[in-house]
Amino acid sequence: MADTLSTAPTAKDYASDQEVRWCPGCGDYAILKQVQTVLADLAIPRENVVFISGIGCSSRFPYYMGTYGLHGIHGRAPAIATGLAITRPELHIWIVTGDGDGLSIGGNHFLHILRRNLDVTILLFNNEVYGLTKGQISPTSRPGQRTPSTPWGSFEYPFNPAALAFAAGATFVARTLDRDQPHLRMILHRAALHRGAAFVEIYQNCPVFNDGAFAIYTDKETKPDNALFVEHGKPLRFGSGEQKVLVLDGTAPRVAALTDELPANVWVHDETDRGKAALLVQLSEALGPAFPRPFGVLYADPSRPTYGELLAERRQRLAQETVPDLARLLHGRNFWTIP
Amino acid sequence: MNRQRRVVPDVVIVFAGDSGEGMQVTGMQFAHASAMRGNDIATFPNYPAEIRAPQGTLAGVSSFQLRFGSFDVLTPGDECDVLVAMNAAALKTHLHLLKPGGILIANEPGFDRRSLRLAGYSEEQNPLTDGSLSGYQLIVLNISQLVSAALADTGFSVREKERMKNMFVLGLLAWLFDRPLEALEQLVTTKFAARNPEIAAANLRLLRAGYNFGETSELFAVRYEIPQAQLPPGTYRSISGNEALVLGFVTAAQKAGLKLFYAGYPITPASEVLHQMSTLLPYDVYPFQAEDEIAALCAAIGAAFGGHLGVTATSGPGFSLMSEALGLAVMLELPVVVCDIQRAGPATGMPTKPEQADLLQALYGRHGEAPLPVLAAATPADCFHTAYEAARIAVHYMTPVVVLSDAFLANGTDLWRIPELDTLPPIVPPWASDRYKHNGSFAPYERDERGVRPWAVPGMRGFEHRIGGLEKEHITGNVSYDPANHERMVSLRAAKIEHIAHELPPQTITCGEPSGELALVSWGSSYGAVLSAVQECRRQGLSVSHIHLRYLNPLPRNLGDVLRGFRRILVPELNSGHLTQVLRARYLVDARPYSKIQGRPLSVSELVEYIQRELHHG
């Protein structure tokens, strides 16, 4: 491993010397590679990067990074990251979590770190199943999913992580897939540059316990009609030959044929539009299978100040008002001396 | 009128009224003024958990017990010389504390038919008139009317005036016990002026009206004088346990050159720590109100990973939530301090009442082999030194440390001799250096001669490393499932904590001979009551000594020898015998518990009686 990053770094400079131990064919490998690539692209000094995780397959991630890292306890990565981000705002802090770790046991911390808009990047590897504990349902598992804990098929309603993050006040919400590496890389790049809490949901295939869960978004035949790749400023087009478009009738989305609509009627993606983002994050979930699942940066609000910025402002103001004097602090307002 | 002046060594006053009637404020102001007058003080605030419990009911009574004297005042006292009862419920709940012949000041409007009924007095029975209080110096005042008259030319409503009547009481008692009026005026001004100058002026007026009422009315034939305590030279202030904790941590972080990250989740009786920390941003304090106690400790761990001192304070329910993260901190070996301001449990228990029943949880309440240092504060002022010491140990030994305080110490007030900053022991973080590198790569779990690992923090180039909750290989810190390595790491972590005992002062005898018939062993807030009881018994010629422990883990290295110097060992605790179990298991001594689990501190008299019985019938 290169000792300095004075020459242009490569992805390898961000890898640790530990053997990567995910199952063969696990989507995590692709994510690891793209994260390392993006860090190299951005040439962020290794010593200023910290990966924090909870428990689960995804949470082994920090061990494979040549940066600083902390493998915490189940669900608590956002809480651990919060203490670090508040005191060390200059660091590049990444949280790696999964659908069980981040949305079940750690659901509370997940909501609050987004609400506070701490300057962190959250990668949620969503494989819709518990992998490390051998295949039970997770909060994103679909109705009907048969697992050891739901041998009769689950009847629980799943979370939509992107919608949840959006509702919790995330200032950056994106969705991507392990199998689409250029898209994954582009989204990770954008997330890394976002100022504030950036949430990235990554559909990640678990070849052992939930193989093919996202195949309809990656297989050639099914992908065009089911996956919608959004880009800021561009019309929402999908389907074979991008012949389908989304149209907004008031606040009601509708699928139409490109040829049937005037170009002016087609929904153009504006990632800063909070109202449209509210529709977009829950497009296929709330409106049914006729609607495609959107991928890309669904929402980004660069204007909201981060927790760190607000805290720094407050600290600066107080520093102007109060000159710290520890001895005076100990004395308080009322003291007296006995000779 | 030429009044008699009587000199007394100490006085105990209990202010009792409806919660929301300002009894806590009155008591605190009186305590401050007494401390400034040169007396030693001890206080015991006792209030319901409800912010405004039903008015006039027994459950709604809030009281503040204050003792001030011309000697080393160790406890707020078992009984009182003066009881101020603002209503019938306050009288009913606190009369048992008043000494025979003591002064009872009753606010007449608080004894109307409704109040009497709410307090559970039977129809037509009024204790103020039925002669049942003839054993006391009963002084019945219509304080509401006096206050109303004093504020007649102001625009305050009846309701507002009612809320200020505590100031009249404060003034009256200030006169009776010769407290400096100027000091009180200053305290009242600082308390109210920022909020509302009109209210400040009204409060000052009532304070003086009360004082003058004492002077001009002929209610009191005697005025009392309490000489100054003989205190070592120094600068003093009064301080509560929670305030002292805050100052202890801030001072420790500053001495160590570290930022102080404080995370807290609101919980009685620890919230004041969060409030105070939140005012100290200019002192490199980073306060954070977390979403729950799990997050509070996890955030503190994250900050410690970043190179700062991480601190959190909570009470039993929150401490339970922190168990898993405490285990993580043990595994990571990072400096964090967790304060458990104990209250009566289990579950929600009695949130405002003291208890010491979290000791075994602090010592053992984690899965796996997870030893960590546990310290307990003895007095409100001692909370400063305990916090400082806990922070010092956490940083020096790269370990989580638990500080035990309780509701009695947290809110109680003490006289504190402010330490000179340069007399406090230095705190030197064990920063990583090239010494811990092998073939260019950093070894985060290589230990120094004390068993302590180095502290490398993000931003240090060339020291990038990963730590986590999985068992680690000795030296490299890489994940390891090797059986021998696990056993070795468990023993290395334990040895590090035991090593702390080598640098701690040996256990001393707090009071009495180093050997003999009976020793009382105490920890935490029982200190004052146990010491007072031992002193009293020794004055009676009984052979009894007192041993007070600050360090509950690791225990002082000579403690076994010290205990074996006594034929019998009694351990008074506000629990079912936690320390007793520890001492028996560790030293095979016949320690026996004296348990009290009532949400109330130990009283001196109960301990004196117990010691007498033990020694006469032993």
pLDDT of B503-552, one tens digit each?
999 999 999 999 999 999 999 999 999 999 999 999 999 999 999 999 99
Sort B201 into a burial class: Cβ within 10 Å, 0-12 / 13-18 / 19+. middle
Q: HEC states along B240-274?
A: EHHHHHHHHHHHHHHHHCCCEEEEECCCCCCHHHH
Q: Which long-range contacts (CB under 8 A, 24 or more apart) does A283-287 make?
A: A283/A228, A283/A253, A284/A226, A285/A160, A285/A163, A287/A253
User: Token match 């994260």: residue?
Assistant: A35
Minimum-distance CB partner of A70 among B190, B305, B441: B305
Q: In the numeric block, which tokens belong to residue B380? A: 């409100």
Tell me whether residues B462 and A318 touch, CB distance under 8 A. Answer: no
Tell me whether residues B458 and A108 touch, CB distance under 8 A. Answer: no
CB < 8 Å to A63, chain B: 466, 468, 479
Cross-sheet strand order for the sheet of A252-257 = A237-238, A244-249, A252-257
CA angle A306, A309, A312 (to 5 degrees): 150
* pLDDT of res. A7: 79
**Closest chain A residue by Cα to residue B326:** A73
DSSP state of B525: G
Fold for the domain defined by B237-423: Rossmann fold (3.40.50)
- Give backbone dihedrals phi and psi of A147, rounded to 5 degrees, phi first: -140, 170
Is residue A61 within 8 Å of residue B459, measured between CB atoms? no
| Stretch B113-133: mean pLDDT | 92
Half-sphere exposure of A293 (CA within 13 A, CB side): 21
Is residue A49 within 8 Å of residue A81, measured between CB atoms? no
Average model confidence (pLDDT) across chain B: 95
Q: Residue B1's pLDDT band (boundaries 50, 70, 90)?
A: low
Same CATH topology for B4-225 and B516-617: the answer is: no
pLDDT of A24-65, one tens digit each?
999 999 999 999 999 999 999 999 999 999 999 999 999 999
**Angstrom distance (rounded) from CA B375 to CA B395:** 15
Tell me whether residues A86 and B303 touch, CB distance under 8 A. Answer: yes
User: Token match 């468990």: residue?
Assistant: B490
**Angstrom distance (rounded) from CA A119 to CA A307:** 7
**Angstrom distance (rounded) from CA B87 to CA B531:** 35
| Stretch B368-396: mean pLDDT | 98
**Closest chain A residue by Cα to residue B235:** A337
Closest C-alpha to A14, from A55, A57, A62, A77: A62
DSSP state of B541: T
Residue B608 to residues B9, B522, B531, B540, B594: CA-CA distances in angstroms? 20, 15, 10, 10, 12
Tell me whether residues B231 and A3 touch, CB distance under 8 A. Answer: no
Q: Is the pLDDT of residue B228 over 80?
A: yes
**Angstrom distance (rounded) from CA A232 to CA A273:** 10
- Residue B356's contacts (CB-CB under 8 Å, 6 or more residues apart) are B342, B404, B406, B523, B524, B525, B526, B573, B574, B575, B578
Question: 3-class SS at B598?
Answer: coil
B608: left (phi over 0), alpha (psi -120 to 50) or beta: alpha
User: Token match 């190179």: residue?
Assistant: B307
B346 contact A CB<8A: no
Q: Residue A1's pLDDT band (boundaries 50, 70, 90)?
A: very low
DSSP line for A201-241: EEE--BTTTBTTTTGGGTSTTTHHHHEEE--TTSB-EESGG
Question: Which residue ranges make up each domain of chain B?
Answer: 4-225, 237-423, 434-503, 516-617
pLDDT of B7-30, one tens digit each?
999 999 999 999 888 899 999 999
* pLDDT of res. B124: 82
Q: In the numeric block, which tokens belong to residue B515? A: 């050997």
Question: 3-class SS at B464?
Answer: coil
DSSP state of B589: -
A87: left (phi over 0), alpha (psi -120 to 50) or beta: alpha
B257 contact A CB<8A: no
Q: What is the largest CA-CA distance in chain A?
A: 95
* pLDDT of res. A2: 44
* pLDDT of res. B618: 57
Is residue A3 within 8 Å of residue B462, measured between CB atoms? yes
Q: In the numeric block, which tokens belong to residue B127? A: 């204790």
Residue B58 to residues A42, B17, B207: CA-CA distances in angstroms? 67, 10, 28
Q: A120-126 and A92-98 as β-strands: parallel, antiparallel, unpaired? A: parallel
Residue B318 host element (H or E): helix B316-321
- Give backbone dihedrals phi and psi of B507, rounded to 5 degrees, phi first: -65, 130
Q: Which of A61, A84, A90 to mutate to test the interface with B (most CBs of B within 10 A)?
A: A84
Tell me whether residues B295 and A73 touch, CB distance under 8 A. Answer: no
Average model confidence (pLDDT) across chain A: 95
* Strands of B434-514, DSSP E: 437-438, 441-442, 466-468
Q: Min CA distance, A109 vs chain B (Å)?
A: 7
Q: Residue B2's pLDDT band (boundaries 50, 70, 90)?
A: low
DSSP line for A95-155: EEEEHHIIIIITHHHHHHHHHHT-SEEEEEEE-SS-TTTTS---TTPPTT--BTTBTT---
CA angle A181, A182, A185 (to 5 degrees): 80
**Closest chain A residue by Cα to residue B468:** A71
* pLDDT of res. B218: 86
Is residue A96 within 8 Å of residue A52, measured between CB atoms? yes
Tell me whether residues B295 and A82 touch, CB distance under 8 A. Answer: yes
Q: Is the pLDDT of residue B51 over 80?
A: no
pLDDT of B606-616, one tens digit each?
999 999 999 98
Give me the numbers of helices (H) and strands (E) for chain A, helices first please.
11, 12
| Complex-level ipTM beyond the 0.90 threshold | yes
CB < 8 Å to A3, chain B: 440, 462
Ordered by where they begin, the domains of chain A are: 11-213 (3.40.50.970)
Q: In the numeric block, which tokens belong to residue B536? A: 């009293």
| Stretch B265-279: mean pLDDT | 97
- Residue A6's contacts (CB-CB under 8 Å, 6 or more residues apart) are none
**Angstrom distance (rounded) from CA B232 to CA B235:** 9
Minimum-distance CB partner of B261 among A55, A68, A87: A87
- Which of 3.30.450.40, 3.40.920.10, 3.10.129.10, 2.120.10.30 is the CATH number of B4-225? 3.40.920.10
Q: In the numeric block, which tokens belong to residue B250? A: 């801030």
Q: Is the pLDDT of residue A223 over 80?
A: yes
**Closest chain B residue by Cα to residue A55:** B469
pLDDT of A149-181, one tens digit each?
999 999 999 999 999 999 999 999 999 999 999
| Stretch A280-296: mean pLDDT | 88
Q: Min CA distance, A140 vs chain B (Å)?
A: 23
Closest C-alpha to B375, from B259, B248, B516, B190: B248
**Angstrom distance (rounded) from CA B265 to CA B368:** 26
Q: Is the pLDDT of residue B582 over 60?
A: yes
B261 contact A CB<8A: yes
**Angstrom distance (rounded) from CA A47 to CA B342:** 41
B465 contact A CB<8A: yes
**Angstrom distance (rounded) from CA A98 to CA A108:** 14
Helices A77-87 and B293-305: crossing angle in degrees, nearest 10, is 50
* pLDDT of res. B196: 85
Q: Is the pLDDT of residue A3 over 60?
A: no
CB < 8 Å to B231, chain A: 338
| Stretch B267-288: mean pLDDT | 97
Closest C-alpha to B560, from B532, B530, B587: B587
Task: Report whether CATH 3.30.565.10 matches the domain B516-617.
Answer: no
Tell me whether residues A338 and B418 touch, CB distance under 8 A. Answer: no
**Angstrom distance (rounded) from CA B170 to CA B151:** 16
| Stretch B162-178: mean pLDDT | 94
Q: Residue B195's pLDDT band (boundaries 50, 70, 90)?
A: confident
Cis peptide before B287 (omega within 30 of 0): no
Q: Min CA distance, B365 vs chain A (Å)?
A: 17
| Stretch B474-483: mean pLDDT | 97
Q: Min CA distance, A300 vs chain B (Å)?
A: 25
Q: B566-573 and B591-595 as β-strands: parallel, antiparallel, unpaired? A: parallel
User: Token match 């309780």: residue?
Assistant: B406
| Stretch B221-234: mean pLDDT | 92
pLDDT of A77-104, one tens digit each?
999 999 999 999 999 999 999 999 999 9
DSSP H stretches of helix in B461-526: 483-503
Tell me whether residues B261 and A329 touch, CB distance under 8 A. Answer: no
Tell me whether residues A335 and B236 touch, CB distance under 8 A. Answer: yes
- Say what the pTM is: 0.95
**A339 or A64, which is more confident:** A64
User: Token match 């230990």: residue?
Assistant: B447
